[in-house]
Each structure stands twice: as structure tokens, then as C-alpha cells.
Amino acid sequence: MKTTDRRELPNGKVSLTALGLGCAQMGNLLKLMPFADARDTADAAWDAGIRYFDTAPFYGFTRSERRLGAILDERQRSDFTISTKVGRLMVPDADVGAEAEGYVNPCPFHQVYDYSYDAILRSFDASQQRLGMVRFDILYVHDIGRVTHGEKHEHHWNQLTKGGGFKALSELRQDGRIGGFGLGVNEWEAVSEALDECDLDVSMLAGRYTLLEQESLGLLQKCLDRGARIVVAGAFNSGVLAGTNNFNYGDAPAEIIARVQTLRSVAEEFGVAIQAAALQFGMAHPAVVSCVSGARNARQIRSNVEWFEADIPAAFWQALRERGLVAEGTPLPGLAA
């Protein structure tokens, strides 16, 4: 698998490079990222052949979109694929603190969840201004789900399904202002429910189809059956598969650490970097069109590309299957189903 390999959505309107750049770090996720580092990171991604960039209004409370728009301003629009997200309106707020929702020095806005018809269109318009672009390739409905919203889930779900949210997205797609839409979530169940409500093109699933987790296999088959596709994100499960103790945006529990150690031991047995296996894993599924990974600097980009393109012996993947370390029926690189 090469970074520059492309996979096309079934609607024929969007193609994505196999490896994409997630731009949450450009919003100062967890720590400051100077603009020079953001530019160097994006330039290194471009030099490596990455042409798919993903952002969101929420990342840095609009900072990521502003930065990415400035960085891509001198590139030909037809030369890259871009996705952003809707579902939050960013409202000016002079009292936003030095850190909020995991972002350091966020821009002076606060988020208001709103998935209604008018809010989707307002969010789209605001992103056009921040990114300096008329058309987006993909719009994802950001962070909708029962775990995310708890007792407010039904309210937000009704905004999306009965309040015109999906209708607005369908109109944007029909008018050609976007190439396709889907969900951008950590909850695979939300994507499954959305497929029963609307014709999705592609959804970004973070952390739920990885070397560590395959409970979403049924969803991926459903996507294939419905003509939808998946972009996998969070391949390192918040870092636990890349050497940190972070899992699902928090400290990894003991059972997760133990499972990762088992996977790492098998990787070491075959001389495989666990990070390489994590990045390549999802691409074996026919429903997956791209793997998006974040980076803080050019060095991390180069590492991601090296891992993504590393040769991994089929015997490693076979060992995972034979030892029950992946779910039954999981497609693996270079192996028959």
C-alpha cells in the first residue's frame, strides 16, 4: 500500500489518498502547535503525496480551519481533497479560558451543538469563509451519538433526522457544493442508525475499527451493502498502539494495556513495528477508503508514511488470526478472507 494510492467513493465524485492528514493538532490539541509547525507538517504531508486533509470547526474552536485554509491557499483546489464537519456552531465568547475541551489557547468562541437544517447550512457557510473555499469534498456530521450526548441524544438525533439536518446535507450534495456526506464519530452504532435514515456516502470512524477493536465489522459490511464507505481515524486508539498510555482520550485500563502488550509481542516476533501494523490494518477492508492520522511536525509525518508503506510479512497477520487476536472474519492485508 502506497500513501498516494487512491480509492474512490461509489458515487464517483470523490477520491481520497490512502493516507490522509488529520488536522486536530493544528487547533492546539493538548498542547500548543506554532503556525510554522502546522505549515511544515502540511508541507511534509504534501511532499509525501498526501492529498486528503480533514479538519473541523471544533478543532481549536475554529483555529484548525483558519490555519489549514491559509496553508492550502496557494495550492490548486483541484489537487487535493478536503473534509470538514458540521453539528457545532461556534459562537463568539470573550471569556473562553486558556484551555477548553482539550485545546490549548483556543480561539474566542464556544460551541453550541445544533444539527438542524438552518444550523447545518450556517456551519457550512462559516467553514467556507474560514477555509476560503466554495466547495468541500466531504461534510461529516460531527460527534452525534448516545455516548456523546447522553440524555440529550434524542433531541439532537431528531434535529438531524426530523429537523432537516440530513435534508440540508442532501441539498448541498445535490447542488454540488459538497461531493458527499456522512458522520464523523467515535460511535459506530450512530453510523449504522444513520444508514437507515439517509443515503450516506462516507463516514469517518475514529478508534472503532483498529488493530485493537473490531466490534464494528458488521457496520463495515452494512456500508458495503448500502454503497457507503468508511474513513478510519484514530488508528492508534488515542496513542496506546503507538507507545503512550492513552486510550479513548483518557488513561488506558489494565486490560487494554495487556492486550496491546500481547499485540506488541507478536509484532516483535516478526520484526514488525506495531505502529505500522496499526496504520495498515484497516485498509484491508473493502469498505475502507482512507486512513487519517494526525501529526505535530514534519518528522511525525515522515514516520507515519514510513509505517504506512512498510513491508509486513503475511505470516504476522496470519499469526494474529490463528492466535485469536483479531475478530473472526476480519480482512487482513495479503490474506484471503
Active site positions, annotated: 54, 59, 85
Q: What is the CA radius of gyration of the chain?
A: 19
Distance separating alpha carbons of residues 286 and 224, to the nearest angstrom: 8
**Cα–Cα distance, 75 to 70 (Å, whole number):** 10
Please, which residues bridge with residue 161 across strands? Answer: none
CA 66/CA 315 separation, integer angstroms:
45
Contacts of 324 (CB under 8 A, 6+ apart): none
Helix (H) or strand (E) holding 254: helix 254-269
CA dihedral 287, 233, 114, 133 (to 10 degrees): -90
Q: Of all helices (H) and strands (E), which one includes residue 275?
A: helix 274-281
Residue 229 and residue 141: Cα distance in Å, rounded? 15
- Identify the CA nearest to 39 among candidates 303, 305, 297: 297
Do the Cβ atoms of 230 and 291 come closer than 8 Å?
A: no
Q: Which 8-state DSSP code applies to residue 167?
A: H
Q: What is the DSSP string of 111-129?
A: EEE--SHHHHHHHHHHHHH
